[in-house]
């Protein structure tokens, strides 16, 4: 399936004379006022979105914002959120309003209600919303005369009052991003019915569509709890999520996209293709990989291993548990004890009176590999000639993720990191970062991910270790490496780990969703903590800089992402079964056996389906199992010493000479072709 967002419209510029509404000017200019291209708001020359009812004081040129643009959709979604809130307060008069912003693909609105909403409530609310939209309401902006006016009007809305107070209270809190109050004057949007009566209103900075007829397609999707203002110590409100679009067609396309995402869910595919499971007996977030998943995992790892060897990495191993002192030295216990499994207290001895004879000690499951690698570095004196020293480990780590966050393979409690630590001298840092980033992107591409952007996570002022100067240098080096890649770089202030800033590589999958993949972190802190040194050319002792980097991040997670990216139809080189042989009738089996012996001897993972299902049934079975190559043979094939191919997409290539078929298959797998084979592309291989 391919979902391509509608092309961004060429924006129309419109001159709005002083004293005229933007809407009138837009209409004068002959721009659409209905349908998916209807103009819903305008953007002024300061980049601010304005209602169509907005009247500039002097003649101003504005850009018309159409419904089918991202900005236009946000306005539609926000206005739909208002209609939702109106419906909620009609059906649940005791409901107090939280906030209701547009979000990616939709909107939400938070409410404080006596009891949580049920799915039936959602249906009733959606029905009421449709009535409200159909009844035809205007959205009208109104300025509060003063803060006190606002407080008086909002006396029964405690959360809105809090927002007003926040805004007026001090400069400590930046409210410019808060939809309700913004950073300008305080305004309310009234919903006016067709008789001109004000039937509802909400504190809001706007802008809004002028009229509910600009809200042609929406759907309430789910309810959930959410902490007021995102703070765990605050009361939980009931959040209703919805989606809204400029047309029925756009809404349907979005719902189809959601359905496709559900079909691709790695948890579903993992069960369907017998790849992995989460036995209840083992524990939450602790996957086991079945033979077919094991093959994919091994292929992923083996290729990575090969590439790392070629790139000068050395492989190390470290145990899964350690005495607590190691994580005290590294600082992990100080920062992350909550996220670690609790210690095992071992070796304690008491005498017959119960008095402590030997204190014993705490062992922890490791949540990170890096402290171990520091010990390997420190195990003997290091020379500048050894740098950069690149240590790599597929290291299993365990993190006590909170029960509510564990999710399939993407958030687990036990995982294997492809973890590398590079120790280098200051003058090597820049080159090393640059080549590292190139290496990482290159390898991700080999697994079939093509579309990337980078994120630069900088210091969390509440949670860091090391000096300002170290952080500055580390951050600058990373930024320079990131910028030289030519990829888009998105800032992530405060997103760094305590020991250093990081670049993360975000990859988009086939559905356009972004996943955090590789991370690269520069660390001056841990070399200090572990007192790591090398001897420089002049005989002096120097401190190396450490680079942390994971490419898959966690193999489990990467596995999950690839599963969804390929919808389970893995490239042939990763497929657990690369080709299945299907005889037309039993008498054709010996011929296929010969062919499959050849394929097997060339290192392909192949199976011959000699079961007594009908041939059509076998094709169906192996199609649902997403086997890339089905190799059939009937009378005509036997006669011509040939086989016939059927591919995942249903296309076929008949009577291909055996030798040619085997060579093409082998070559396809060996060169790690990521495309799904079809008559077209595999036919080209044969030619």
For RNA, the closer CB: 208 or 557: 557
According to the binding rule CB under 7 A, does residue 630 interact with RNA? yes
Residues 373-432 that bind RNA (CB under 7 A): 399-408, 411
Max Cα separation, the chain? Answer: 97
Handedness of CA 279, 281, 285, 289 (dihedral sign): negative
Location of structure tokens 């007003």? 164
Catalytic residue among 254, 399, 542, 546: 399
Q: What's 636-661 look like in SS3?
A: HHHHHCEEEEEECCCCEEEEEEHHHH
Is 548:523 a contact under the CB 8 Å cutoff?
yes
Options 176-184, 386-394, 601-609, 641-649: segment touching RNA (CB under 7 A)? 641-649
Options 179-187, 281-289, 445-453, 467-475: segment touching RNA (CB under 7 A)? 281-289
Q: Which of 302, 613, 659, 680 binds RNA (CB under 7 A)?
A: 613
What residues contact residue 363 under an 8 Å CB cut-off, 6+ apart?
321, 322, 323, 324, 343, 344, 345, 346
Q: To 5 degrees, how large is the angle CA 236–CA 237–CA 243?
A: 130
Q: Which of 210, 216, 371, 634 binds RNA (CB under 7 A)?
A: 634
Residues 314-373 that bind RNA (CB under 7 A): 332, 335-336, 339-340, 367-368
According to the binding rule CB under 7 A, does residue 15 interact with RNA? no
Minimum CB separation from RNA for residue 557, in Å? 10
Q: Is 591 a catalytic residue?
A: no
Minimum CB separation from RNA for residue 302, in Å? 25
Q: Is 565 a catalytic residue?
A: no
Options 474-482, 485-493, 596-604, 644-652: segment touching RNA (CB under 7 A)? 644-652
Minimum CB separation from RNA for residue 646, in Å? 3
State yes or no: 548 annotated in a binding site.
Answer: yes
How crowded is the C-beta side of 674, counted as CA atoms within 13 Å?
A: 13
Q: Token digits for 328?
A: 């005290």
Residues 495-534 that bind RNA (CB under 7 A): 497-498, 519
For RNA, the closer CB: 25 or 99: 99
| CA nearest to 665, candidates 577, 587, 593, 586 | 577
Is 192:149 a contact under the CB 8 Å cutoff?
no
Q: Is 424 a catalytic residue?
A: no
Q: Which of 226, 375, 487, 511 binds RNA (CB under 7 A)?
A: 226
Q: Which of 161, 271, 316, 686 binds RNA (CB under 7 A)?
A: 271
Catalytic residue among 205, 332, 370, 565: 370
Q: To 5 degrees, how large is the angle CA 511–CA 515–CA 520?
A: 150
| Residue 77: how many other CB atoms lie within 10 Å | 24
Handedness of CA 639, 645, 651, 653 (dihedral sign): negative
Q: Is 254 a catalytic residue?
A: no
Handedness of CA 534, 540, 541, 545 (dihedral sign): negative
For 24, the 3-state DSSP assignment is helix
For RNA, the closer CB: 123 or 484: 123
Q: Is 194 a catalytic residue?
A: no
For RNA, the closer CB: 191 or 563: 563
Catalytic residue among 160, 208, 421, 557: 421
Q: Is 618 a catalytic residue?
A: no
Q: Is 211 a catalytic residue?
A: no
For 521, the 3-state DSSP assignment is strand
Query: What kind and span of H or E run contains 365?
Result: strand 361-365
Q: Which of 650, 670, 671, 684 binds RNA (CB under 7 A)?
A: 650
List active site positions.
Answer: 370, 399, 417, 419, 421, 502, 548
Residues annotated within a binding site for Zn(2+): 370, 421, 548
């Amino acid at each position: 399936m391919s979902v391509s967002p509608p092309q961004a419209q060429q924006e129309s510029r419109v001159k709005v004379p002083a004293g005229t509404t933007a809407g009138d000017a837009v209409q004068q200019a002959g721009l659409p006022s209905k349908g998916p291209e209807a103009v819903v708001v305008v953007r002024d020359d300061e980049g601010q979105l304005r209602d169509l009812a907005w009247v500039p004081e002097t003649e101003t040129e504005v850009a018309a914002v159409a419904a089918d643009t991202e900005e236009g959709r946000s306005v539609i979604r926000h206005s739909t959120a208002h209609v939702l809130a109106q419906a909620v307060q009609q059906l649940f008069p005791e409901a107090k309003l939280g906030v209701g912003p547009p979000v990616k693909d939709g909107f939400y609105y938070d409410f404080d209600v006596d009891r949580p909403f049920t799915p039936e409530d959602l249906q009733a609310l959606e029905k009421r919303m449709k009535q409200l939209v159909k009844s035809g309401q205007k959205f009208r902006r109104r300025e509060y005369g003063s803060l006190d006016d606002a407080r008086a009007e909002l006396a029964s809305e405690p959360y809105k009052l809090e927002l007003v107070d926040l805004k007026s209270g001090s400069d400590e809190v930046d409210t410019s991003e808060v939809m309700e109050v913004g950073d300008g004057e305080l305004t309310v949007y009234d919903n006016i019915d067709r008789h001109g009566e004000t039937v509802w209103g909400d504190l809001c900075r706007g802008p809004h569509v002028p009229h509910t007829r600009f809200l042609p397609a929406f759907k309430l999707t789910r309810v959930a709890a959410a902490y007021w203002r995102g703070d765990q110590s605050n009361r939980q409100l009931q959040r209703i999520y919805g989606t809204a679009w400029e047309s029925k067609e756009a809404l349907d396309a979005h719902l189809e996209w959601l359905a496709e995402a559900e079909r691709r869910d790695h948890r579903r595919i993992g069960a369907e293709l017998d790849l992995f499971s989460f036995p209840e007996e083992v524990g939450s977030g602790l996957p086991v990989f079945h033979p077919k998943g094991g093959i994919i995992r091994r292929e992923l790892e083996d290729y990575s291993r090969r590439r790392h060897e070629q790139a000068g990495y050395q492989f190390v191993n470290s145990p899964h548990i350690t005495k607590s002192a190691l994580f005290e030295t590294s600082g992990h216990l100080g920062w992350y004890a909550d996220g670690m499994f609790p210690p095992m207290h071992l070796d304690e001895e008491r005498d017959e009176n119960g008095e402590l004879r030997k204190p014993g000690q705490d062992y922890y499951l490791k949540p990170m590999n890096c402290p171990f690698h520091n010990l390997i570095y420190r195990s003997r004196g290091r020379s500048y000639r050894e740098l950069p020293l690149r240590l790599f480990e597929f290291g299993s780590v365990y993190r006590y993720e909170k029960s509510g966050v564990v999710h399939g393979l993407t958030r687990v409690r036990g995982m294997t990191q492809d973890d590398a630590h590079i120790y280098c001298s200051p003058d090597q840092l820049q080159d090393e970062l640059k080549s590292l980033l190139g290496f990482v992107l290159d390898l991700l591409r080999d697994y079939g991910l093509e579309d990337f952007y980078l994120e630069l996570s900088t210091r969390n002022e509440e949670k860091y270790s090391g000096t300002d100067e170290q952080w500055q240098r580390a951050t600058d080096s990373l930024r320079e490496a990131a910028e030289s890649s030519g990829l888009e770089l998105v800032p992530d202030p405060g997103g760094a780990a305590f020991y250093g800033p990081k670049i993360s590589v975000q990859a988009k999958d086939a559905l356009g969703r972004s996943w955090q993949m590789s991370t690269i972190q520069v660390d001056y802190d841990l070399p200090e903590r572990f007192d790591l040194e090398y001897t420089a050319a002049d005989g002096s002792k120097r401190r190396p800089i450490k680079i942390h980097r994971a490419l898959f991040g966690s193999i489990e997670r990467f596995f999950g992402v690839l599963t969804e990216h390929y919808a389970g139809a893995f490239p042939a080189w990763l497929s657990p079964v690369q080709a299945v042989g299907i005889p037309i009738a039993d008498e054709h089996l010996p011929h296929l056996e010969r062919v499959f012996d050849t394929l097997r001897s060339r290192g392909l993972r192949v199976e011959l389906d000699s079961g007594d299902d009908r041939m059509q049934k076998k094709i169906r079975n192996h199609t649902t199992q997403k086997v890339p190559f089905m190799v059939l043979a009937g009378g005509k094939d036997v006669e011509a010493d040939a086989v016939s191919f059927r591919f995942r997409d249903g296309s076929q290539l008949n009577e291909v000479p055996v030798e040619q078929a085997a060579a093409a298959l082998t070559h396809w797998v060996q060169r790690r072709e990521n495309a799904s084979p079809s008559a077209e592309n595999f036919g080209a291989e044969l030619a």
